Amino acid sequence: MLTMIAIVDYGMGNLKSVEKGFLKSGVDVKVTQLPSDIASAHGVVLPGVGAFKDCMANLGRLGLIAPILSSIACGKPFLGICLGLQMLFTESDEFGHCPGLNVFKGRVVRFAAAGLKVPHMGWNTVQFKNKPPIFDGIEDNSYFYFVHSYYVAPEDAEITAGMTGYGIDFTSMIWKDNVIATQFHPEKSQSAGLAILKNFGAFVREN
């Protein structure tokens, strides 16, 4: 049986670059807005670029919230990227209070250190706290590409898999069970990022 990985298309974000990153890594994916595709997929990828509130509204309008939550709950391999990480949390402070998917308890907050350039944009390192299997072969403190003004503040520190310094040390990667999510963009992070996408494909096939 062929393995199907669904990239969730909610009308916003960097879908083409994520799709191209997977294909370049030798992993077949399907960009889709259909709840049935997400429900039947063997793995799910939730990318994201844009405003938190608009992205959540689009997920709701397209009927995608239920199949995303069901996929996570049933143990399906799940990868969140950038805003796809942030939407997994309880709420965001972006443009006022906005509820998220509440898979993990915590808030999404804006960088606030004095003199800090926001957004945080460009290459930065990730220090592993708990290395997920899809990071096999990737060294600690490797560089990845970031573009964001907000970061996640989990209530449960145990889900933090990686930290990055930018004015403060913030959670740049989480991992719990079948869910792995990164604040950085693997699809824009050259060889290390493409290795993550390739490893995610293998993770899906094995599970």
Residue type, 99: P
Q: Which of 19, 120, 148, 187 is catalytic?
A: 187
Give the residue-averaged pLDDT of 91-96.
90
Give the residue-averaged pLDDT of 124-145.
97
CA distance 25 to 192: 11
For the cut 90, the answer to whether the pLDDT of residue 135 exceeds it is: yes
For the cut 90, the answer to whether the pLDDT of residue 47 exceeds it is: yes
**Any idea which residue has 């992993």 for tokens?**
27
Percent of the chain clearing pLDDT 70 (strictly above): 99
Q: Name the class of domain 5-206.
A: alpha beta
For the cut 60, the answer to whether the pLDDT of residue 12 exceeds it is: yes
The residues spanned by each domain of the chain are 5-206
For the cut 60, the answer to whether the pLDDT of residue 1 exceeds it is: no
Please indicate whether residue 98 is annotated as part of the active site.
Answer: no
Q: Which of 82, 94, 98, 148 is catalytic?
A: 82
Average pLDDT over all residues of the chain: 95
What are the respective helix, strand and coil percentages of the chain, to the nearest 5? 30, 35, 35
Give the residue-averaged pLDDT of 200-205.
96
Question: What per-residue confidence (pLDDT) applies to 207?
Answer: 86
CA dihedral sign, ordered 82, 140, 143, 191: negative
Please indicate whether residue 187 is annotated as part of the active site.
Answer: yes
Q: What is the pLDDT of residues 150-176, one digit of tens each?
A: 999 999 999 999 999 999 999 999 999
Taking the model in full, what pTM does it have?
0.96
Task: Provide the pLDDT confidence category of residue 108 given band limits of 50, 70 and 90.
Answer: very high
Token code pair at residue 182: 């990164």
Question: What per-residue confidence (pLDDT) applies to 81?
Answer: 97
Q: Which of 74, 58, 64 is nearest to 37 (CA)?
A: 64
Vertex 123, ends 19 and 59: CA angle to 5°?
A: 40
Question: What per-residue confidence (pLDDT) applies to 14?
Answer: 75
Give the residue-averaged pLDDT of 110-116.
88
Q: Which of 19, 94, 120, 185 is catalytic?
A: 185
Please indicate whether residue 185 is annotated as part of the active site.
Answer: yes
CA distance 186 to 72: 21
CA distance 138 to 180: 15
* Measured CA distances, 21 to 27, 31, 191, 194, 207 (Å): 9, 13, 10, 6, 21
